[in-house]
Amino acid sequence: MSEKTKAAENQKSQTPSTAFPQGKNIIAVASGKGGVGKTWFSVTLTHALARSGKKVLLFDGDLGLANVDVQLGLMPKRDLNDVIRGRLSLDKVIQRYEDGGFDIIAGRSGQASLSALPSQRLAILRDQLLDIAKEYDVVVIDLGAGVDRTVRMMSASAVRTLLVTTDEPTSLTDAYAFIKLGAAAGMSKRVSIVANQAANPIEGERTYKTLLKACENFLRLTPPLAGIIRQDPRVKDSIRSQSPILTRSPNTEAAQDVEKIAAYAANLVQKAATA
What pLDDT, on a 0 to 100 scale, did the predictor assign at position 161? 96
Domain map (residue ranges) of the chain: 21-274
pTM: 0.91
- Report the CATH superfamily, name and number, of domain 21-274: P-loop containing nucleotide triphosphate hydrolases (3.40.50.300)
Identify the bridge partners of residue 143 per DSSP, sorted by sequence position. 61
User: Residue 109 gets which letter from DSSP?
Assistant: T
What pLDDT, on a 0 to 100 scale, did the predictor assign at position 112? 57
In tens, the pLDDT along 75-126 reads: 888 988 888 888 999 999 999 999 999 999 998 766 655 567 788 888 889 9
Give CA–CA dist 163/43, Å, rounded. Answer: 15
Identify the bridge partners of residue 191 per DSSP, sorted by sequence position. 161
Give CA–CA dist 270/266, Å, rounded. Answer: 6
User: Residue ranges of the chain with pLDDT lower than 50?
Assistant: 1-18
What pLDDT, on a 0 to 100 scale, did the predictor assign at position 19? 57
What pLDDT, on a 0 to 100 scale, did the predictor assign at position 150? 82
Note the helical H segments in the chain: 3-13, 16-19, 38-51, 68-71, 80-84, 112-115, 119-133, 149-156, 169-184, 201-214, 233-240, 245-248, 253-274
What pLDDT, on a 0 to 100 scale, did the predictor assign at position 9? 43
In tens, the pLDDT along 249-263 reads: 999 999 999 999 999
Give, in order, the Cα–Cα distances in Å from 86 to each of 1, 93, 129: 47, 12, 15
